[in-house]
């Protein structure tokens, strides 16, 4: 046990939960994607191999990040944030489209496609955490709060045109970190007001000048979600109806591995609707178990944040914990029909390389903080 702890230190519960979620993802993605794989690649193992490779890569990222002292990121943020803004701009103007959404860029000569909004979540959380961690100099702190606010607005604004749900999720995370940091409400209200004004201007401009984007898709999804069922076209509610039906049909213990029908009805059953697929095949018991894993993961993250002495680490862990768990519950809410379709994946379970790697990075940082929290002697205010 001592030798294992030597290589896998920090919060043991977080290690176990991470391992369980990654393991769950392999049979879930395989079963959900077998039909699509067979039709496209004449064999049902294509996406299984991709998922196994992605899981191994994610675990490697977790372990490497866990080994890197979290304080080393403070000096790298000056590089990470501008690079992320450049990636978002590239995505906006020359990104790869999928299902009418331009959210990805392809690395030249590699065939690797990255979802830049996922990377941006990590970058802006780190940037905000660094700037809010300096409290010993009130004048510098106020300046840093404004810098972080403008950086947040720029990031959310660049994500927004192609990925409304990620933009709103990022804004929610940053707002929560601001409240936790004790930033004056007057400043928070100014940020929110600026964001609302920018949103209204964008919507009006998109309507008047017919700007390219996802505005019509968002409006359609919201109207479908909030509209009167009797007046809705069945095609508009098809995804939500099939997902809810799969959850109901799963019962307490499910239909059994490989016996789910959602794969025949939804092309995104291995990503956006994988929670419904798991519930159909493994039952409500498995669904509740997965929900419990995410809740415990969030609890352990907050526990780690409360125990650490570094403000940078506090905001970093809080932001990353919120990112993972809020995304999980948005995905679950969509599958259950409680939220409109968003395209958010289920962290560590859904198929999606960028999401797995980004979540892996976040968990690695949380684990590094939990490993070092008992050895920190630095004061709470980080004057850097």
How far is it, in rounded angstroms, from Cα 269 to Cα 239? 10
How far is it, in rounded angstroms, from Cα 130 to Cα 342? 30
Q: Which residues of 261-288 are buried (b: 16+ CB within 10 A; e: fewer)?
A: bbbebbebbbbbbbbbbbbbbbbeebbe
Domain count, the chain: 1
59 part of a folded domain: yes
How far is it, in rounded angstroms, from Cα 9 to Cα 340? 40
How far is it, in rounded angstroms, from Cα 19 to Cα 16? 5
Count the neighbouring beta carbons within 10 Å of the beta carbon of residue 23: 13
Residues 6+ apart with CB under 8 A from 195: 153, 156, 171
- At 367 the pLDDT is 97
Locate tokens 């964008």: which residue? Answer: 202
381 part of a folded domain: no
Question: Pairing state of beta strands 101-106 and 113-115?
Answer: antiparallel
237-252 pLDDT, tens digit each: 677 778 888 888 888 9
206 part of a folded domain: yes
Domain containing 267: what range?
11-372
- At 33 the pLDDT is 84
- At 378 the pLDDT is 45
How far is it, in rounded angstroms, from Cα 326 to Cα 329? 5
342 part of a folded domain: yes
Identify the CA nearest to 120 among candidates 151, 153, 96, 85. Answer: 85
**Cα–Cα separations (whole angstroms), residue 24 to 276, 281, 307, 372:** 14, 12, 30, 29
107 part of a folded domain: yes
φ, ψ at 8 (rounded to 5°): -125, 70
Counting as low any pLDDT under 70, the low residues of the chain are: 1-3, 98-102, 110, 136, 202-203, 205-237, 268, 374-384
58 part of a folded domain: yes
Alpha helices by DSSP H, 8-115: 12-41, 46-67, 73-94
Tell me the sheet residues that pair with 96.
104
- At 328 the pLDDT is 96
**Tokens standing for residue 98:** 């999928």
118 part of a folded domain: yes
**Tokens standing for residue 37:** 């794989």
Q: What is the DSSP string of 164-199?
A: HHHHHHHHHHHHHHHHHTT--HHHHHHHHHHHHHHH
- At 231 the pLDDT is 55
Residues 6+ apart with CB under 8 A from 260: 31, 32, 246, 269, 277, 280, 281
């Amino acid at each position: 046990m001592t030798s294992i702890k030597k290589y896998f230190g920090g919060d043991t519960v977080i290690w176990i939960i991470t391992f369980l979620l990654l393991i769950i993802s392999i049979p879930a993605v395989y079963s959900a994607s077998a039909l699509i794989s067979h039709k496209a690649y004449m064999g049902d193992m294509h996406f299984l191999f991709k998922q196994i490779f992605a899981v191994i890569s994610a675990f490697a990222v977790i372990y490497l990040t866990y080994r890197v002292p979290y304080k080393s990121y403070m000096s790298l943020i000056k590089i990470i944030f501008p690079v992320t803004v450049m990636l978002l701009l590239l995505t906006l103007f020359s990104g790869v489209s999928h299902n009418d959404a331009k959210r990805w860029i392809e690395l030249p000569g590699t065939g690797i496609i990255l979802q830049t909004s996922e990377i941006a979540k990590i970058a802006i959380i780190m940037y905000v955490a660094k700037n809010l961690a300096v409290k010993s100099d009130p004048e510098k702190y106020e300046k840093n709060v404004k810098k972080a606010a403008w950086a947040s607005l720029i990031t959310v604004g660049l994500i927004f045109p192609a990925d409304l749900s990620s933009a709103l999720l990022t804004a929610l995370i940053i707002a929560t970190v601001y409240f936790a940091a004790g930033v004056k409400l007057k400043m928070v209200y100014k940020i929110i007001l600026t964001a609302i004004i920018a949103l209204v201007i964008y919507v009006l401009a998109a309507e008047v000048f017919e700007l390219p984007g996802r505005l019509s898709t968002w409006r359609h999804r919201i109207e479908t979600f909030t509209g009167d069922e009797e007046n809705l076209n069945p095609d508009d509610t098809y995804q939500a109806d099939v997902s809810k039906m799969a959850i109901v049909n799963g019962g307490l213990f499910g239909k059994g591995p490989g016996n789910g029908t959602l794969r025949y009805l939804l092309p995104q059953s291995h990503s956006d609707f994988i929670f419904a697929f798991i519930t159909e095949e493994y039952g409500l018991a498995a669904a509740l178990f997965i929900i419990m894993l995410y809740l415990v993961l969030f609890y352990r993250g907050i526990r780690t944040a409360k125990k650490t002495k570094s403000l940078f680490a506090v905001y970093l862990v809080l932001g990353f914990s919120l990112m993972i768990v809020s995304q999980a519950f948005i995905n679950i809410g969509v599958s259950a029909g409680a939220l409109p379709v968003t395209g958010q994946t289920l962290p560590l379970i859904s198929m999606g390389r960028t999401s797995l790697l980004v979540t892996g990075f976040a968990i690695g940082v949380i684990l590094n903080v939990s490993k070092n929290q008992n050895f920190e002697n630095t004061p709470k205010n980080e004057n850097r």
